[in-house]
Structure 1
Amino acid sequence: MTGRPLKFEWMEALRGADLSHAEYRVLLNLSTYANSDLTNAYPSRATLCADSGVSGPTAKKALRRLVEKGWLVLTEQGGNQHWKGKANVYSLSIPKGVTQLPPSGVEGGNSFSEGGKSTPPEGGNSVTPHQKELPGDNTSGSEEGVSYVSDAGASARPLTDDPQEPEPDSSAPEPEPLGPDPALNPLPWIDDKLPGGFRLGERDTAKALLAEGKHYGDVLYAILGARNSRKRPTSKRYKRPEEGIA
């Protein structure tokens, strides 16, 4: 761990996640109800729908998909399936294979996924996607200091003392940018994380909190919390006056 808030570590892993717009909004708003240890989030279905701007069926489908994808864990089932009673209780999680987190101080540091530390697979040597393990590689069978590698679709060849580096594949897609660096320019990062971006007055609020020395992750959650705490107007049913008796 890097000493930063655990929820902010989770937010960093969420960057670039393969989620639909509805799933992202539901997950981000649900996270505002979780504790600092990513547990015990249990807003009512109606509250979560209002915060996320989605319908009930859409929220229900998004929650199911988020559990399947590993971003949520249903820790206690409530009565939401009957649209009454106690709400479901969720914990935030990080799916296996998500490696968008910063290193933990060691080159190639541990990824923050289920279980914490990542360990190499059992069985000894690891094989990269661009190498194939040759039969008998588990032995020391090198001949006079010459080793062999095998590329996909190519025969084994010896490595010389001055190997030529392969030319980069121009057809390979360029990696997608990770977005603005929050440490250098936090306002674009906060605007990118907020569903729908900054609303009226929220940019000035963010500037003021940052000027007070608040962490940009805390500023994001402060704005989301303010959105969720606003009172929503309730519609009054119109009552028709009683007609007089003729």
Structure 2
Amino acid sequence: LDDVMNRFKSELHGLPFVTVTGNHDIRGTNAKEAYHAYMPERMSEELGKSVTHTNFFFTIGDDAYIVLDFNDPDDTLIDQMLKECEGARHTFVLTHGPVLPYDGGSCRWFFHGGKSAEETAARRHFRKVFARRNALCICGHIHTTELADWYGDGGRITQMTVNSVWSKPELGIYSYTSDQPSDYGNIHEMAKSKKKEDGSKYEDDSGLLNEYKPGLKTYIRSTSAGSYKMNVSDRHVTIDFYAGNSKEISKHFVLR
């Protein structure tokens, strides 16, 4: 971890380098223990403040950045962090797994995406909390470039999913497969009739997606991969997407 962090850091010319826990970061023998032992201390160094957990927050000017470990969310700590930064101009939620469920064959691997009553209650609690803060969520995990703008629970959640897995040349060119909220759920519908690698079928989770579909005002989905630059000002929050290794902006997304 130290080798990797220092290698990235050498390219950033002194800028803080903040990481968010992903599912692959904690796979392997003692990987989770190593990550949890190393990363809070490293984040403390990067941010110049005490970080004791893989769920933490920091501020830049008037904006708050809530970092979630979707593998191990500490709900009490997350609620506490949100209270500590109440009144922020913008509340950004940074998480590897999405906050809004993604459209796919298996769509349950997101923040509090389990089926149990406890998980459902936690999901809806944080959905309401984030919506009332008009949160902007930046996530990854599903290897797509997506913008989803959802209204409900007395507010709004805007989610940008980013993807750097540029595995095929064609993914280095921006194109989209969906550009209407009505497209949300179509992939899951198609997947239900297919079999997974182990021979089992995908479960029907259309009820989960239908819970969110009426509130979607924007839904853009692309399989393109590349890099992203977020621009934050008093007037707007936008993201410039650079497909593949392009040095020119391939798509300009307006979040706010």
TM band (smaller chain): under 0.3
TM-score for both structures, normalised by structure 2 = 0.22
More strand by share: 2
Larger radius of gyration: 1
